Amino acid sequence: MPPGFLRRPSGPLATARGLGFFTPRSKFYWAPVPIFLVEHPGAGPFLVDTGLDPRLIDNARESVGVLSSRIYKIRMTSDQAASELVRSAGVDPEAIKLIVMTHMHFDHAGGVAQFPAAMFAVSEQEWRVANDKGSMQGYYHNYFHPEFAWRTIDYGGDEVASFESFGRSVDLFGDGSVRLVFTPGHSMGHQSLILRLADGHECLLCGDAACEMATIHDTVIPTLMADEHLFRRSLRELQHYLEPRPTTVVIPGHDPEAWSKLAEVYS
């Protein structure tokens, strides 16, 4: 990533500078693209997001097309494909029956094809926008596989309730252990997750509602968002939730420093 991509520069040509148009490649940095394997005592193992398409390793054109294959620089090995990561954690990929999608951008939905037996839970708003927009907004329709089982969550529906600082939330299993919270802005249908851990603490999987810890701590805004007003509102909900909860494990979307601190537990 260019250094200004997740920290929008000030001054003239801010967007162009944030996208790295005037920055040498030597100053770009590698950002992690995580997925999460969650063990639920009743529902069993499930995933949050599916990461990158493994075709990006040696056949990027087939995955994202000619133009995008020239733009994106990906560092990935075959054992980092979602199904291989699940297998390395001691879980049969076919045992994954549920995958929660924070959103459908290429770096989160690239591994969908590896889990044909799973049901994918995505917000109705995100599913609609992802199928309407294209690669310029980060969506690649060949990733989505509409013949798979998709459960769309309508955050304006009857099952939705407020939770703490969040205006719209869904209790995924009905036991308070996994809450989906609607955090649009980065994408129009983005959702984050709050997990109640076995030790009594909570874990906040921000997704790209907060790509770096600085986003939360210092309200640092990225260069590109689907809707800045919604992004800021969702960020305030995250911040207000965390203020009285200093022991919450917070995992932002693409922060290399934060990821390295969590590596022993989560990689």
The pLDDT tens digits for 177-199 are 999 999 999 999 999 999 999 88
- Strand ranges (DSSP E) for the chain? 36-40, 44-48, 98-100, 119-123, 149-153, 161-163, 166-171, 178-182, 191-196, 202-207, 249-252
- The full set of domains in the chain, from first to last, is 1-25 (no CATH), 31-266 (3.60.15.10)
Q: CA–CA separation, 139 vs 132, rounded Å?
A: 9
How many other CB atoms sit within 10 Å of the CB of residue 122?
23
- Please provide residue 204's backbone torsions phi and psi, each rounded to the nearest 5 degrees: -105, 110
Q: What is the pLDDT of residue 265?
A: 58
User: Which parts of the chain sit beneath pLDDT 70?
Assistant: 263-267
Give the number of other CB atoms < 10 A from CB of residue 183. Answer: 29
Q: What is the pLDDT of residue 264?
A: 63
Report the C-alpha gap between 12 and 35 in whole angstroms.
36
- Cα gap 196→178, rounded to integer Å: 7
pTM for the whole thing? 0.94
Residue 267 has what pLDDT? 40
Tell me how far apart the alpha carbons of residues 158 and 146 are, in angstroms, rounded to a whole number. 25
CA nearest neighbour of 238 among 212, 204, 261, 262 = 204
